[in-house]
Structure 1
Amino acid sequence: MKNPIRDLPHYLKIFQTYLGRRMYYVFALSLLAGLAEGVGILMFLPLLQSLDSGSSSATGEMSMASEGVSAHVHDLFSLLGIHDSTVGVLIIITLAFLFKGALTFGALGFSAYLRGQLLRELKGRLFDHYSNMTYGYYSSRDTGYFINLINEQITRALQSFNSTAQLGTQSVNALVYLALAFVVAWRFGLMALGVGILLVVLFRKLNGYVRNLSRKTASENGHLAKLLIQALHAFKYLTATDQTAGLRRSITVSIHQLTGYQMRTGIAAGFTQAAREPIAVVFIMLIVLIQIELLKQPLAPILVSILLFYRGLNAMLSIQSYWQGALEQIGSMELVHQEFTKQRQYQGRDGPHVLGALDKAIRLDDLHFRYDQQLDDVIKGVNLEIPVRTTVALVGESGAGKSTLVDLITLMHNPNSGQVLIDGFPGENINLSSWRQQIGYVSQETVVFDDTIANNICMWADDSEQGVQLDDRIREAARQAHIAHFIESLPDGYQTLVGDRGLRLSGGQRQRLFIARELYRKPNLLILDEATSALDSESERAIQKSIDELKGHITVIIIAHRLSTIRNVDKVYVFEQGQLVEEGGYEKLRDTKDSRFGRLVAMQAL
Structure 2
Amino acid sequence: MFAYFERLVDPYPDTRPATPPTSFLGFIWACSEGTRPFVLAMTVCTALIGAFEALLFGMLGRVVDWLGAVQPAQLWTEARGELLMLLAVIVASPLVVGLQTLLKHQALAGNFPMRLRWNFHRLMLGQSMAFYSDEFAGRVAAKVMQSSLAVRDVVFIVTDILVFVTIYFVTMAFLVGGFHPVMLLPFAGWLVSYGLAVRFFVPRLAGVAKNQADARSLMTGRITDAYTNITTVKLFSHAQREAGYARSAMQEFMQTVHAQMRLVSGFEVGIHSLSMMFILSTTAAALWLWTQGLVGIGAVAAATAMALRLNGMSHWVMWEVASLFEHIGTVQDGLATLTKPNAVLDRADAQPLAVPRGEIRFEAVDFGYGRSPSLLQGLDLHIRPGEKIGLVGRSGAGKSTIVNLLLRFHDLRGGRILIDGQDIAGVTQDSLRAHIGMVTQDTSLLHRSVRDNILYGRPDAGDADMVSAAQRAQADEFIATLADPKGRSGYDAHVGERGVKLSGGQRQRIAIARVMLKDAPILLLDEATSALDSEVEAAIQATLYQLMEGKTVVAIAHRLSTIAAMDRLIVLDKGQIVEEGSHHELLARGGIYARLWAHQSGGFLAPDVDDDKDAIDAAAATPAALAALHVAPTASA
TM > 0.5 fold call: yes
Deviations 1:535-565 (A, max 9, x none): 1111221221112112332222101111111
- The answer to whether the aligner puts 1:134 opposite 2:128 as a matched pair is yes
- The answer to whether the aligner puts 1:598 opposite 2:594 as a matched pair is yes
Contact 2:114–2:148, Cα closer than 8 Å, also in 1: no
The answer for the alignment partner of 1:406 in structure 2 is 403
C-alpha deviation, 1:84, in angstroms: 3.2
C-alpha deviation, 1:11, in angstroms: 5.5
**Sequence identity of aligned pairs in percent?**
23
- The answer to whether the aligner puts 1:93 opposite 2:86 as a matched pair is yes
Q: Helix, strand or coil: the match of 2:123?
A: helix
The answer for the alignment partner of 1:33 in structure 2 is 49
- The answer to whether the aligner puts 1:303 opposite 2:301 as a matched pair is yes
- The answer to whether the aligner puts 1:19 opposite 2:32 as a matched pair is yes
The answer for the alignment partner of 1:178 in structure 2 is 173
C-alpha deviation, 1:419, in angstroms: 0.9
Please give the alpha-carbon distance, in whole angstroms, between the structure 2 residues aligned to 1:519 and 1:541. Answer: 17
Partner of residue 117 from structure 2, selected from 119, 123, 126: 123
Contact 1:27–1:172, Cα closer than 8 Å, also in 2: no
The answer for the alignment partner of 2:333 in structure 1 is 335
- Residues 599 and 368 of structure 1, relative CA distance in 2, 3 Å threshold: same
Backbone CA RMSD of aligned residues: 2.7
The answer for the alignment partner of 2:445 in structure 1 is 448
C-alpha deviation, 1:231, in angstroms: 1.8
Deviations 1:327-385 (A, max 9, x none): 1222211123332321x353534352221234241100011111133x32211221111
C-alpha deviation, 1:507, in angstroms: 0.9
Contact 1:177–1:309, Cα closer than 8 Å, also in 2: no
Please give the alpha-carbon distance, in whole angstroms, between the structure 2 residues aligned to 1:600 and 1:306. Answer: 92
Please give the alpha-carbon distance, in whole angstroms, between the structure 2 residues aligned to 1:155 and 1:245. Answer: 33
Contact 2:140–2:337, Cα closer than 8 Å, also in 1: no
- Residues 379 and 13 of structure 1, relative CA distance in 2, 3 Å threshold: closer
Unaligned runs of 5+ in 1: 1-9, 62-81
- Residues 191 and 404 of structure 1, relative CA distance in 2, 3 Å threshold: same
- Residues 180 and 17 of structure 1, relative CA distance in 2, 3 Å threshold: farther
C-alpha deviation, 1:215, in angstroms: 0.9
1:557-572 paired onto structure 2 within 5 Å: 557-572=554-569
Please give the alpha-carbon distance, in whole angstroms, between the structure 1 residues aligned to 2:358 and 2:522. Answer: 12
Q: What TM-score does the superposition give when structure 1 sets the normalisation length?
A: 0.86
- The answer to whether the aligner puts 1:193 opposite 2:183 as a matched pair is no
Look up the equivalent residue of 1:99 and give its one-letter code.
Answer: A
Deviations 1:21-80 (A, max 9, x none): 34333321111112223333333344322334365688xx9xxxxxxxxxxxxxxxxxxx
Please give the alpha-carbon distance, in whole angstroms, between the structure 2 residues aligned to 1:222 and 1:55. Answer: 68
C-alpha deviation, 1:201, in angstroms: 0.3
Deviates more, 1:559-568 or 1:21-30: 21-30
Look up the equivalent residue of 1:600 and give its one-letter code.
Answer: L
C-alpha deviation, 1:399, in angstroms: 0.7
C-alpha deviation, 1:450, in angstroms: 1.6
Please give the alpha-carbon distance, in whole angstroms, between the structure 2 residues aligned to 1:496 and 1:163. Answer: 46
Partner of residue 464 from structure 2, selected from 446, 465, 472: 472
C-alpha deviation, 1:149, in angstroms: 1.0
C-alpha deviation, 1:573, in angstroms: 0.9
Partner of residue 485 from structure 1, selected from 473, 477, 487: 477
Please give the alpha-carbon distance, in whole angstroms, between the structure 2 residues aligned to 1:166 and 1:192. Answer: 20
Unaligned runs of 5+ in 2: 1-22, 484-488, 601-635
1:178-327 paired onto structure 2 within 5 Å: 178-266=173-261, 268-269=263-264, 272=267, 279-293=274-288, 296=292, 297-299=294-296, 300-312=298-310, 314-327=312-325
Runs of 4+ in 1 over 6 A off after TM superposition: none
Q: Helix, strand or coil: the match of 1:413?
A: coil
Please give the alpha-carbon distance, in whole angstroms, between the structure 2 residues aligned to 1:547 and 1:146. Answer: 37
- Residues 245 and 316 of structure 1, relative CA distance in 2, 3 Å threshold: closer
Deviations 1:247-306 (A, max 9, x none): 322211222332343354345446656766664343122122123326823222333333
C-alpha deviation, 1:179, in angstroms: 2.7
Please give the alpha-carbon distance, in whole angstroms, between the structure 1 residues aligned to 2:383 and 2:523. Answer: 12
Deviations 1:429-488 (A, max 9, x none): 1111111111112122111122221111113976xx4xxx61111111112211122223
C-alpha deviation, 1:312, in angstroms: 5.0
Contact 1:174–1:316, Cα closer than 8 Å, also in 2: no
Partner of residue 518 from structure 1, selected from 500, 512, 515: 515
Deviates more, 1:386-395 or 1:255-264: 255-264
Q: Helix, strand or coil: the match of 2:462?
A: helix
Instruction: Give the total of aligned pairs.
Output: 566
1:62-73 paired onto structure 2 within 5 Å: none
Q: Helix, strand or coil: the match of 2:418?
A: strand
Look up the equivalent residue of 1:561 and give its one-letter code.
Answer: H
C-alpha deviation, 1:406, in angstroms: 0.7
Q: Helix, strand or coil: the match of 1:420?
A: strand
Contact 1:178–1:309, Cα closer than 8 Å, also in 2: no
The answer for the alignment partner of 2:426 in structure 1 is 429
Q: Helix, strand or coil: the match of 1:353?
A: coil
The answer for the alignment partner of 2:140 in structure 1 is 146
